[in-house]
Each structure stands twice: as structure tokens, then as C-alpha cells.
A and B are shown apart, each in its own frame.
Chain A
Amino acid sequence: GAVVSQHPSRVICKSGTSVKIECRSLDFQATTMFWYRQFPKQSLMLMATSNEGSKATYEQGVEKDKFLINHASLTLSTLTVTSAHPEDSSFYICSASFYSSYNEQFFGPGTRLTVL
């Protein structure tokens, strides 16, 4: 149980375009979803926390107008990287939790974004 999927697993796009990444909880209803960013050989950096039906809470230094997060249902959250640039190339990972799991986070497999 507690499986989280991400789509796509890899995406390559041109500079200036927007990219949408989906995060789905497959067998549970996620009250909270988290989005992380990870550069090569580095740790995970939390970008934002989203609760279903409310606006995401962004970490300091993360541009909310550039990284749009939508958590419209209890099983789906999306991260849209708007006007992507090469410096946005990274590994984006989502996680999901639900209250009765004592807020244990279950991680998705990640999405590798490459901006040319």
C-alpha cells in the first residue's frame, strides 16, 4: 500500500516552455503533498507543501509564480514549471501523506527535467 506515482518520469523541453508534472497517490487519499527538488549528488530541498483544496505553502526562496502547484483532489497534485530555463533542470520528487499515517511521507519515483 501507500504507492505514489509521478508522470512523466523524464521530460526534456526547450527554454521558455512550461512543463507540468503530476503526482498521484494510487491507493490512498493524500491530505498533504510535498514537492522537492534535488540536484545531482545533493539532498532533497523542500519547495512547497500543499493541502487538498487550499493554496500551497512555499518555502523561502521558491518563486510561487514560477512553480505553480495545484492540489485539486485527494489523489492528485501537479507542479507546473513555467517559462523553464536551463537552471530549472533538476530531479523533482513529490511525496504524499495522510493523517492516519501519522503524516508519514510516501515518496514518488521522481521526474527528471532537462531544459535545453
Chain B
Amino acid sequence: TQLLEQSPQFLSIQEGENLTVYCNSSSVFSSLQWYRQEPGEGPVLLVTVVTGGEVKKLKRLTFQFGDARKDSSLHITAAQPGDTGLYLCADRTNAGGTSYGKLTFGQGTILTVHP
């Protein structure tokens, strides 16, 4: 069974600071996704990375995928209060059968950005 570990679990910072969240897998990712979830809502997909060493940017968010495809990081520059939320990494299996598209989530990082 694949295990995804995220760190840190909790992060409380001031507006304008930078931060990095990490996601490590016990096995090679099939297809890594990062989600952001606000309280009382469903998660929203931020990015999907597939290729080892891949770097993707989404405004102030930078996503990196490790060369060995077993780890990833999410870096936020100049955090804003609107970035507050639960950040989740997930592996989307490409296996066949009934598991196709199944997501395995990390335990999440709760980010709080104070004004």
C-alpha cells in the first residue's frame, strides 16, 4: 500500500513570507496532483505533474517533481491570507480495472497566513 507523507502538517506564517510544503511517497508516483481545500468545501485541483524533474508554475506557486518521481514540493512566494487552506498531494493511479483514476491522498498540510 502506497503511503504519502506530507510535511509540515501545520504551518502558520505572516503575510509576505515564503513557504514550502513537501510530499514524499513510499513508491513511485503514477501521476502526482496537488489540491487546495478551503473549510467546508471540496478540494480544488492546482496542478498535475507526470514527468520526473518537472517544474510547473501557477502565479506565486511553484511545483517541483523529483527526478525519481517519489517526492514533490510546493513553494509559495509572498503568501497572502487568501492562500490559507489545506494543501493535499495525491497520487492518481493509472492502473487498469476498477482502480483506474483512483486517488491516494497525503495527510495534508494546514496553512494559515496571517494578515
Q: Which residues of A contact B (CB under 8 A)?
A: 4, 32, 34, 41-46, 49, 51, 57, 91, 93, 95, 97, 102-105, 107-110, 112
A105, B103: Cβ atoms closer than 8 Å: yes
Bound state CA distance, A105 and B43, in angstroms?
Answer: 10
B70 in contact (CB, < 8 A) = no
Taking CB atoms, residues of chain B closer than 8 Å to A97 are: 101
Bound state CA distance, A95 and B41, in angstroms?
Answer: 12
| Chain A contact residues, majority secondary structure | strand
Q: Mark B72-105, 1 if CB is under 8 A from A, else 0.
A: 0000000000000010100010000011111111
Taking CB atoms, residues of chain A closer than 8 Å to B100 are: 32, 103
Taking CB atoms, residues of chain A closer than 8 Å to B43 are: 44, 93, 107
A43, B107: Cβ atoms closer than 8 Å: yes
B103, A46: Cβ atoms closer than 8 Å: yes
Bound state CA distance, A45 and B102, in angstroms?
Answer: 11
Taking CB atoms, residues of chain B closer than 8 Å to A34 are: 102-103
Interface residue tally for chain B (C-beta within 8 Å): 22
Bound state CA distance, A103 and B99, in angstroms?
Answer: 10
Taking CB atoms, residues of chain A closer than 8 Å to B41 are: 109-110
The answer, among B40, B104, B110, for a CB contact under 8 Å with A41, is B110
A44, B88: Cβ atoms closer than 8 Å: yes
Bound state CA distance, A112 and B45, in angstroms?
Answer: 21
CB distance from A42 to the nearest CB of B (A): 7
In the complex, the 4 A-B pairs of residues with the closest C-beta atoms, listed nearest first? A103-B101, A107-B42, A43-B108, A43-B105
Q: Mark B7-33, 1 if CB is under 8 A from A, else 0.
A: 000000000000000000000000000
Closest B residue, CB atoms, query A59: B102
What are 25 of the A-B contact pairs (CB < 8 Å)? A4-B42, A41-B86, A41-B108, A41-B110, A42-B107, A43-B105, A43-B108, A44-B43, A44-B88, A44-B103, A44-B105, A46-B103, A49-B99, A49-B102, A57-B98, A91-B40, A93-B43, A97-B101, A102-B101, A104-B48, A105-B103, A107-B42, A108-B42, A109-B40, A110-B40
Which among A32, A51, A103, A112 has the greatest number of chain B C-beta atoms within 10 A?
Answer: A103
